[in-house]
Chain A
């Protein structure tokens, strides 16, 4: 199981129900394959940095899922087929986050060493 972030853009003139329908469908795809939807965030309407088709705006939705590559493949296929989805991007985040944790832990350790016993409050503020 890996953690992925899938962000996609729905056409700005889509109704709320349409957006909810897409989100529901996508959740079903993940859950149907023993995946887990960690979070779904409707970021909302945003200006696009460039025109896509004939749209200057888009409705951004962010999925955070825990699943296998196969599930993500199906997820992407669904997005590709959906007419009201302008664009999507999938990013695998678990490796990057693990690395960040490591860096943070190392930094904390270093700080602890530096101010061993002398100023314990300095460690807490500098994270």
Chain B
């Protein structure tokens, strides 16, 4: 009887996460063409380590993530963004 399932709502203090809805920056700001030359814009999606920020964290929509990926890779080739950080 100790293993009886707890009724919902009882039990220890459970943290309530209020997850903010993530929105695609490119959709919101209506950036259609993601330019590889705008390293400042792109660097928002490249954290310290130099990797591309995944969609699940940044909230960018799939079509834009694809374009973003292309742009970042081009920018890396011309030394605007790092391949790795050491």
Q: Contacting A49 at CB < 8 Å: which of B30, B32, B74, B80?
A: B80
Complex Cα distance, B33 from A104, in Å, reads 11
Q: Contacting A87 at CB < 8 Å: which of B32, B79, B81, B83?
A: B79
Please report the total number of B residues contacting A with Cβ < 8 Å.
14
A33 at the interface (CB under 8 A from B): no
Given A89-B74, A91-B74, is A52 in contact with B32 using a C-beta cutoff of 8 Å? no
Q: Contacting A58 at CB < 8 Å: which of B32, B37, B77, B79?
A: B79
- The reply to whether A104 and B81 contact each other, CB–CB distance below 8 Å, is no
- The reply to whether B82 and A9 contact each other, CB–CB distance below 8 Å, is no
B76 at the interface (CB under 8 A from A): yes
Given A89-B74, A91-B74, is A49 in contact with B79 using a C-beta cutoff of 8 Å? yes
Q: Contacting A91 at CB < 8 Å: which of B36, B80, B82?
A: B36
A-B contact count (CB 8 A): 36
B78 at the interface (CB under 8 A from A): yes
User: Which chain B residue lies CB-closest to A60?
Assistant: B78
Q: Which residues on B sit within 8 Å (CB–CB) of A109?
A: none
- The reply to whether B30 and A62 contact each other, CB–CB distance below 8 Å, is no
Complex Cα distance, B86 from A50, in Å, reads 9
22 cross-chain CB contacts under 8 A? A7-B37, A9-B78, A9-B79, A48-B79, A49-B76, A49-B79, A49-B82, A50-B79, A50-B83, A52-B79, A62-B37, A87-B77, A87-B78, A87-B79, A89-B36, A89-B74, A89-B77, A89-B78, A96-B33, A100-B32, A100-B33, A107-B30
Can you list the 7 inter-chain pairs with the closest CB atoms, starting with the nearest? A48-B79, A49-B82, A100-B32, A89-B78, A100-B33, A49-B79, A103-B32
Residues on A lying within 8 angstroms of B by beta carbon are 7, 9, 46, 48-50, 52, 58, 62, 87-89, 91, 96-97, 99-100, 103-104, 107
